[in-house]
Homo-oligomer: A and B are copies of this chain.
Amino acid sequence: MALINDHFLKLPNNYLFADVAKRVNVFKAQHPKSDVISLGIGDVTQPLCPAVIEALHRAADEMASAATFRGYGPEQGYDFLRDAILRGDFLSRGIHLERDEIFVNDGAKSDTGNFQELIRWDNSIAVTDPIYPVYIDSNVMIGRAGTKSDDGRWSNVIYLPCTAENGFVPELPQQRVDVIYLCYPNNPTGTALSRDELRRWVNYALKNDALIFFDAAYEAYIQHDDVPHSIYEIKGARRCAVEFHSYSKTAGFTGVRCGYTVVPKEVTACTLTGERIALNHLWNRRQCTKFNGTSYLSQRAAEAIYTPEGREQVKQTIDYYMQNARHIRETLRSIGMKVYGGEDGPYLWVRTPAGMTSWRFFEQMLYNAHVVCTPGVGFGPSGEGYVRLTAFCSRERTEEALERITNYY
């Protein structure tokens, strides 16, 4: 009789966004003529830019002829894309990485979920709270998170609260931890860390021989100069940090699927006998065994983002979303709401009125304004009392949503 990995059974049955969708569907069934606007799920709405579309057509044409057809690519990604990444995202910021420190993937969700395979099941992990659920859930599945208590906390996870009270800047943990998940600009709060604030974390990791798994999926939205685009802007990060990038939000690739992970060769973890092993080597072995490379078309599409036209076009779309963010922030503040984030990231983190729960405020927005947000508590205990709004809707729908919220509030 085959036995199940029963760590899976510890996971709550519903995934946050499935939960939200169910409640929205109930509302729509009750109000079939209603026009619901979603500022909930963090998916983009604007089309791919012309440079990317052209690259996709060219790649499709290449696949139509035996002379230019491409079969299996390297599991680590094609050199044309890895080199474009090195130049465009790192050298331009004074960061020197090597080509074989870049691993192209099909999006940051896969790699942030899979990377924990490289470390022992009994390492301790710390997460900022609220947090993108994948970091914890992927650790639950391998048995690393322990058991879930009634207050929503996992017994073997150290939570680092990020709330208005500490300006959404997590405090260093009191106890030693082995692995720290950081996502900046942050999902869900839309807030960022300054270079000095991130430096404290790199120094902590170096001093405590800890690893940082740094999710930079939203770096393209950064507007302020003192917010680092990559953790490798901080001295010493090459020795302690792995970084995850995604084109999903950078260039609207949520349906195209492409991103990359940076694993510098100096980043190590230990065997039980104290031998240091390079994670770069292990990750390469993992990818060669369990991954067969990203679609050639998606990689050519990603390459196009780094051309001068591509850069300019992508920037226009990001500016469009960030104008939405500014508009949401200013409008909601003008009617007395407390709004955070949205300055260096595409998310707005909104305080619920006077002690109302996240889910109660979610329902109030849905039933009174026909606007969908995401309840903050779904991202962790410290998300209670907040909801997340996204800047990814079209201008028109965003304005319509704001008008409705203003009218009912």
Contacts and interface: CB of A to CB of B under 8 A. Distances in A.
A295 B56 CA distance: 12
A43 B71 contact: yes
Contact of A118 (B5, B65, B394): B5
A298 to B, nearest CB: 6
Nearest to A55: B60
Nearest to A108: B292
A175 interface: no
A28 interface: no
Contact of A289 (B56, B138, B209): B138
Interface string A3-29: 111101101000100100000000000
Copy tally for this chain in the complex stands at 2
A245 to B, nearest CB: 14
A107 to B, nearest CB: 5
Interface stretch (A83-91, A231-239, A251-259): A251-259
Interface string A123-144: 1000000000110011001100
A182 interface: no
A356 interface: no
A36 interface: no
Contacts of A252: 69, 71
Contact of A63 (B56, B141, B179): B56
Given A1-B270, A15-B285, 14 more contacts: A5-B118, A5-B120, A6-B271, A45-B69, A45-B71, A47-B66, A106-B294, A109-B291, A109-B292, A110-B292, A134-B289, A141-B289, A257-B293, A257-B295
Interface of A: 1-6, 8-9, 11, 15, 18, 41, 43-48, 50, 52-53, 56-57, 60-61, 63-66, 69-73, 106-107, 109-110, 113-114, 117-123, 133-134, 137-138, 141-142, 178-179, 209-211, 248, 252, 254-257, 269-272, 277, 282, 285-286, 288-298, 394
